[in-house]
Amino acid sequence: MPKEKDLLASVSNISTDSEFFSPMPAGYKKGKTRYVFVVGTVMSGLGKGIFSSCLALLMQDKGLKVAPIKLEGYLNIDSGTLNPFRHGEVFVLDDGMECDMDLGTYERMLNQDLSKANFTTSGQIFSSVLHKERHGDYLGRDVQMIPHVTGEVKLKLRNLAARTNADIVFVEIGGTVGDLENAYFIEAMRELAYEEGLGSSCFVALTYILEPKTLGEQKSKAAQLGIKQLMQCGIQPDIIACRASNPVSEKVRQKISLYSNVPFERVISLPDSASIYMIPAMLRDHGLDFEVARLLKIEDRINLRVERKAWAQWCDFTDKIGSARHSVTIGITGKYTSVRDSYASIINALEHAGIALGCETEIKWIETTGIIDQTAAEKLADVDGIIVPGGFGTRGAEGKIACIKYARENNIPYLGLCFGFQMAVLEFARNVCGLTKANSTEIEPDCAEPIIDILPEQKKIEGLGGNMRLGGRDIEIKPQTMAWELFGKTNSVRMRFRHRYEVDPRYIEQLENAGLVFSGKAPKQPIMQILELPSHSFFMGTQAHPCLTSRPLQPHPMFVGLVAAAAQKQYPEEKMPDCVKAARKVSSLKT
Ligand code: GLN
């Protein structure tokens, strides 16, 4: 991968006289990579990421190499400092990039590990431009939105193309056409399409069709105006996807086609779908995959044999959706209980495990503020399993510990994720080891028994952006433990982390002597990564976030284990798949 410095050396067309400015990464082959640009009109939240990932999946399944990228309009350098309550969960990539939850959708759909090259924000773009300006890289020019900032965006996209050697780069622009924030992204796309030449790019506009209850009919005006706004930016959409609660009528699609110069067959109806995993089939039914291949003139790169196999495998998975014979309720304790997006990956991981096991997973959100040992039983009466997810700060922590105590004492399947792992250690220390004052210094900085304490490497860090223990790390698994069985008797697994605190190594021996098993550890440091209780049907915790790497065709073993154990609890009369065997069977599915 060429360094940024080398990339600048290859900047073409720069001279103080020229108005052209299009930095090209070293090794960029014009014409090799095509671009699909996905923008939204009318409103945000239309599912641009979902649409883009589903279309990318269909193209990947044809043997094409695809690389997605999301361009975010905000000025934050990454999503790490964003409140999940406002912006959905912070997704963490293997290289430690903290990014938008859409990257999770791309990873899950495409079954690909992505990197920071697949995500950028206005903050990153501007900071890079300003850095280059100070460095004197603009040859005395006045640094402008066009061509320098747009040039930086094009450089990002071409960099991704060069680095991945992709047949198609899928570019998703955050926000809505007309936002001040993303206007320069849209201009950069226009320039890129022009520079790459005819047949190099395809513009998809997602729009929304209103259906006011009082009228009882679909109205297309907002969509028309939104598309007109895009055309005012010099962009002629090739495809218009009409989002709506119901199928979009032919009449409405005809109207949109006429007003936007887009052939009727390419104005498609995309009503709400019960599962996002059904959307690739919807797009395929519209023939969108081959239409895109035609528009991009890459039909000759398609491998139909690869496609047949990949599609059959995908359909094996989607056929199982909605055909579950059993159902379990998993209680998730959480601070952000009102916003489902804050826990998107956990919801997905449960869905993957449930589909694989033929067991519907209902979620019950549990607000833990105010829960105490005496009320835990009542609050958890109707759940078959409990997840305490990641979290920060003190609110609701004592209630979570009360829930964990109830799960441990009543043999209720339990999975603790990151903060939930730390809380499980505290519960065990207090109620089994008798360390009644056990706490985390995140919650009580001067506590007498700081069982959970800040990582040594974190002590000297100042500020809060991008500096937790972040990204993928290997975990050494202790043989003959449940974790070892769940992961298929392997000695090492990789998971993703995002934390500042850990189990203080001084307490490990005492905890282990009392029966807590640390079945996963960091290979070279005394950082505890997985815990379990051998006497319990399923009691596990991990300092990592296994939900981030659960994929539809490869559900994460820890989630499969939890759901299988919960199903056994719910259906004691039936012989349900043993959680360990189940995890091994379904998680070993290869794509
Ligand atoms: N707040 C805890 C820590 O920083 C847990 C973090 C999390 O759950 N992501 O270690």
Edge-first strand order for the sheet with 528-532 is 359-366, 326-333, 385-388, 414-417, 539-542, 528-532, 517-521, 469-477, 492-499
Amino acid at 262: V
Burial group, residue 215, by CB count within 10 angstroms (0-12, 13-18, 19+): exposed
Number of H helices, E strands in the chain: 20, 21
pLDDT at 7 over 50: no
Ligand 1 atom at shortest distance from the alpha carbon of 393? 1
498 lines ligand 1 (CB under 6 A): yes
Q: Residue 329 in contact with residue 363, Cβ under 8 Å?
A: yes
Nearest protein CA to atom 8 of ligand 1, as residue: 390
Beta bridge partners of 69: 171
Per-chain mean pLDDT for the chain: 92
pLDDT at 337 over 60: no
CB atoms within 10 A of CB 581: 13
496 lines ligand 1 (CB under 6 A): no
Model pTM above 0.85: yes
Nearest protein CA to atom 1 of ligand 1, as residue: 392
Amino acid at 84: P
Cα–ligand 1 centroid distance for 293 (angstroms): 44
Q: What is the pLDDT of residues 89-117, one digit of tens each?
A: 999 999 999 999 999 999 999 999 999 99
pLDDT confidence bin for 207, thresholds 50/70/90: very high
The Cα–Cα gap between 560 and 355 comes to 10
pLDDT at 86 over 80: no
421 lines ligand 1 (CB under 6 A): no
The Cα–Cα gap between 468 and 97 comes to 11
| First and final C-alpha spacing in the chain | 27
Q: What is the pLDDT of residues 275-322, one digit of tens each?
A: 999 999 999 999 999 999 999 999 999 999 999 999 999 999 999 998
Q: What is the pLDDT of residues 348-406, one digit of tens each?
A: 999 999 999 999 999 999 999 889 999 999 999 999 999 999 999 888 899 999 999 99
- Bridge-based pairing state of the strands 449-454 and 501-503: antiparallel
pLDDT at 583 over 50: yes
Domains delineated in the chain:
33-317 (3.40.50.300), 326-587 (3.40.50.880)
The Cα–Cα gap between 119 and 115 comes to 8
389 lines ligand 1 (CB under 6 A): no
pLDDT at 3 over 60: no
Residue closest to 121 by CA, chosen among 173, 44, 66: 173
| Higher-confidence position of 141 and 294 | 294
Q: Determine the pLDDT at residue 501.
A: 96
Record the tokens describing residue 221, joined without a space.
């005006």
Cis peptide before 505 (omega within 30 of 0): no
Nearest protein CA to atom 9 of ligand 1, as residue: 390
What average pLDDT does the segment 263-268 reach? 97
Q: What is the pLDDT of residues 464-499, one digit of tens each?
A: 777 899 999 999 999 999 999 999 999 999 999 999
499 lines ligand 1 (CB under 6 A): yes
The Cα–Cα gap between 426 and 435 comes to 9
461 lines ligand 1 (CB under 6 A): no
Beta bridge partners of 22: 12
